[in-house]
Chain A
Amino acid sequence: MDRPLTKSEEAVRAESVRILETGVGELLQPPDVEAFRMWNRAKSKEMVDKRMSEAEAVRRFIKPGDYIGTELYGTVRCPMSLVHEIVRQGVRDLRVAGQGVLELDMLLGASLVKAIDLTYIGLEVYGLSNCLRREVESGRVETVVEWSNAGIAWRFKAAAMGVPFIPVRSMLGTDTLKFSAAKVIEDPFTGLPIALLPALILDVGLIHVHRADACGNAQIDGISGFAAEMARASKRLIISAEEIVETEVIRRRPDRTIIPYYLVDAVIEAPFGSHPGEMCYRYARDEEQIRNWVEASKTSETTAGFLDKYIHGVTDHQAYLDLFGEARLEGLKGGAPGREP
């Protein structure tokens, strides 16, 4: 053409976005934002009492093969009473997002995990996860897809935004991207290569909070990890709370509500629900019990023994807490970081 394109001609000229790289990892959950909208539309917006036991919530809302997520992680504000219940009911073939310490370790230790969108599974200061090693090296976990920690949080954010992907500058140039389900494109605005991470919509999210009302309006103290994003990325959401408060308490400080009720399907009262992990301003982690798990997790036999004693051997969370006794649990309150004297 011997003249420059007019603005309108330029607008209709089809430009194609160049895909520079596609990760070989399996996309475990499709980023189907239209189906997610339909799901959310159908969800009850009624502000009703959703309190129930861990047993009922797991039975009603988590099915074998479901894709689940937990927040924050094993030793910090983690829904351990719900994780224990999943192990107790033996919900199999789970697909999980993680970023996890004790909670994913126990699901792996109980051989309940089939596929992982993996960012980090380890024991932090105590080193590698024995359960992850056994389950992945033996092939019992069939699929492992790699991501970075922020990568998974961003994937939740995309789902929370209701969009199918989010552009980020992490993971580029690495095997982490190659073994993920991300794509790299040439950004149509700047021309720079940019990673596109697919939205991650969870079948079920599990989040432990400081306080919630009976309808599920939930507040978290301290750092919020990725709770806001994960709550909004979940089709079904189970909240456990240290304390159930009157809705009036929520209404007095609505600015503190990180998860509004309409996202929530079940509310469980679970004092010391993060045990043996910590809950900031409330109780410290139970180092002795964490070490017990680290030790027990070293072989399949001792792992089974631990799960028998602390999960299968008790009927519910209260019976679990009774194994430790009030004095020990009260003692953990003293060591809580940031707790007012």
Chain B
Amino acid sequence: MSDQPYNASELLICTASRLMEDGTTAFIGTGIPMLAASLAQKMHAPNLVTIFEFGGTGAILETLPLAVGGGCTFNRAVAASGIRDIVETAQRGFVEYGFLGGAQIDPYGNLNTTVIGDHDHPKVRLPGSGGGNDVGSNCWRTIAIMPHDRRRFVEKVDFITTPGYLTGPGAREAAGLPRGTGPYRVVTTLALLSYHPESKRMQLLATQPGVSVDQVIESTGFDLLIPDQVEANPAPSAEELRILREEVDADGLYI
């Protein structure tokens, strides 16, 4: 993508931003989700309500927080509460979107942020669930944002930190997770992915600019469903890139 007038982070941010609808609630973590939310507020979703895990509701993202509990997460917010209030709000069904990341994802959207290798003798000890499991359990629709390669897109994750569709159709409900919730989209450097409505397995929705379907297949470590119609994702627009660079992250903290 070196000949593109934008970098991989900018592509992920713009793609994720377009998924955020105006007037909805979104559980936002640090990094790319936050930049995407800020961009969405300035582009098409001025009434997007950002919700931050440690208590910020409805912040105006003027400066970019470096921490999910940082002061910017309740900058000019409508409420500053605490973690229980936020996650209980999601548990009651008030939070539409949740954003997630991970070291590994499987065909059902299960995510691993805990260990590579065996739990008790890990090869790599990762940070743990954090709020990931709470978001993946309780938000209506979750969107994972990840770089796309075979190391990350695996048939079986080493550890299910955050629930996707678990083992397939009906598995979330059988486990007791709130009905009608689950993974919705995966935004990657190569593609925009969704889940098959019946099998709940990951499927290709659109390729990123300049990326072929074969490239996506080759970079995925499991059998990806490829529908007859695969769309081509539009490249970040000049307007999106201008706002992103001049307003959202003028100091170049992330992009």
Residues of chain A touching chain B, judged by Cβ–Cβ distance below 8 Å, are 72-73, 75-77, 99, 101, 118-122, 124-125, 128-129, 132-133, 136-137, 139, 144, 146-151, 153-154, 157, 168-176, 179, 184, 192-195, 222-229, 278, 280-281, 284-285, 287, 336-338
Alpha-carbon gap, A221 to B160, bound state (A): 36
The interface residues of chain B lying within 8 Å CB-to-CB of A99 are: 130
* Residue ID in chain A nearest B177 by CB atoms: A172
Given A172-B163, A337-B75: A77 touches B69 (CB 8 Å cut-off)? yes
B47 close to A (CB within 8 Å): no
Which of A169, A229, A337 makes the CB contact (< 8 A) with B70?
A337
Q: Check A223/B81 contact, CB under 8 A, given A72-B54, A169-B138.
A: yes
Known contacts A174-B160, A176-B161, A192-B176, A151 near B133 by CB under 8 Å: yes
Within 8 A of A (CB), among B55-103: 55-56, 63, 66-75, 80-84, 87-88, 91
Which residues of B are found within 8 Å of A133, using beta-carbon distances?
A: 124-125
Which chain B residues border A151 with CB–CB below 8 Å? 129, 133-134
CB–CB A125/B31 < 8 A: yes
Verify if B25 is at the interface (C-beta below 8 Å from A): no
Contact between B177 and A176, CB atoms less than 8 A apart: no
**Chain B interface helix/strand/loop/mixed:** loop
B91 touches A224 (CB 8 A): no
Whether the Cβ atoms of B129 and A137 lie closer than 8 Å is no
Residue of B nearest to A123 (CB): B127
Q: Evaluate whether A76 and B138 lie within 8 angstroms (CB atoms) in the complex, with A150-B84, A168-B91, A192-B176 already known.
A: no
A76/B131 in contact, CB under 8 A: no
Question: Is B162's CB within 8 Å of the partner chain A?
Answer: yes
Query: Is B132 positioned at the interface, with any CB of A under 8 Å from its CB?
Result: yes
**Secondary structure of the A contact surface, majority rule:** mixed
B131-175 CB contact bits vs A (8 Å, 1 = yes)? 111100110000000000000000000011111001000011011
Q: What separation, in Å, do the CA atoms of A307 and B52 have in the docked complex?
A: 32
Q: Which residue of A lies closest to B120 (CB)?
A: A144
* Docked CA distance A242–B172 (Å): 46
Question: Are the CB atoms of A147 and B129 closer together than 8 Å?
Answer: yes
Decide yes or no whether B233 CB sits under 8 A from chain A.
no
B128 part of interface (Cβ distance < 8 Å): yes
Q: Which residues does chain A contribute within 8 Å of B166, judged by CB atoms? A: 173-174
Q: Is A124 within 8 A of B68, CB to CB? A: yes
Q: Which residues of A contact B134 (CB under 8 A)?
A: 148-151, 170
A72, A75, A120 — most chain B CB neighbours (10 Å): A120
**Cβ-based interface call for B126 (8 A):** yes
Q: What 18 new A-B contacts, CB under 8 Å, besides A146-B119, A168-B91?
A: A75-B66, A76-B54, A77-B69, A118-B128, A137-B122, A148-B129, A173-B160, A174-B110, A175-B161, A176-B161, A179-B119, A225-B54, A226-B84, A229-B82, A229-B84, A280-B70, A285-B66, A285-B70
Tell me if B189 counts as interface (CB < 8 A to partner A).
Answer: no
Bound complex: CA of A168 vs CA of B91, how far in Å?
8
Q: Quick one: which of A99, A128, A153 has the most chain B CB within 10 A?
A: A153
Q: Which residues of B contact A168 (CB under 8 A)?
A: 91
A166 → chain B closest CB, angstroms: 10
B70 A228 Cβ-Cβ under 8 A: no
Residue of B nearest to A125 (CB): B66
- What chain A residues lie within 8 Å of B91 (beta carbons)? 168-170
CA distance A101 to B128 in the complex (A): 12
What's the Cα separation between A11 and B160 when bound, in Å? 41
Q: Type the 1/0 row for B106-120, where 1 means its CB is closer than 8 Å to any CB of A.
A: 000010001000011
Closest to A192 in B: B176
Contact of A224 among B81, B110, B126, B174 (CB under 8 A): B81
With both chains docked as a complex, state the minimum distance between the C-beta of B83 and any C-beta of chain A, in angstroms.
5
How distant is the Cα of A278 from the Cα of B74 in the complex, in angstroms? 14
B82 touches A174 (CB 8 A): no
Please report the C-alpha to C-alpha distance between residue A287 and residue B70 in the assembled complex, in whole angstroms: 13
Report if B240 contacts A (CB, 8 A).
Answer: no
Residue on B nearest A184 in the bound complex, by CB: B176
Question: Which chain B residue has the least Cβ–Cβ distance from A141?
Answer: B125
A154 CA to B138 CA, complexed, in Å: 15
Q: Please give, as numbers and ranges, the residues of chain B lying within 8 Å of A278 by CB-CB distance.
A: 67, 70-71
Residue of A nearest to B121 (CB): A139
Cβ A171 vs Cβ B137 within 8 A: yes
Nearest CB to that of B159 among chain A residues?
Answer: A175
Looking at the assembled complex, report how far the CB atom of A110 sits from the nearest CB atom of chain B, in whole angstroms: 18
Which residue of the partner chain, among A75, A174, A287, contacts B162 with CB atoms under 8 Å?
A: A174
Q: Is the CB of B75 within 8 A of A223?
A: no
How far apart are A203's CB and chain B's nearest CB, in angstroms? 22
A223 to B132, CA, bound (A): 20
- A77 CA to B11 CA in the complex, in Å? 34
Cβ-neighbour of A119 out of B74, B129, B162, B177 (below 8 A)? B129
Task: Choose from A129, A192, A281, A284 the contact partner of B127 (Cβ within 8 Å).
Answer: A129
B137 and A172: CB pair below 8 A? Answer: yes
Bound state CA distance, A149 and B129, in angstroms?
Answer: 7
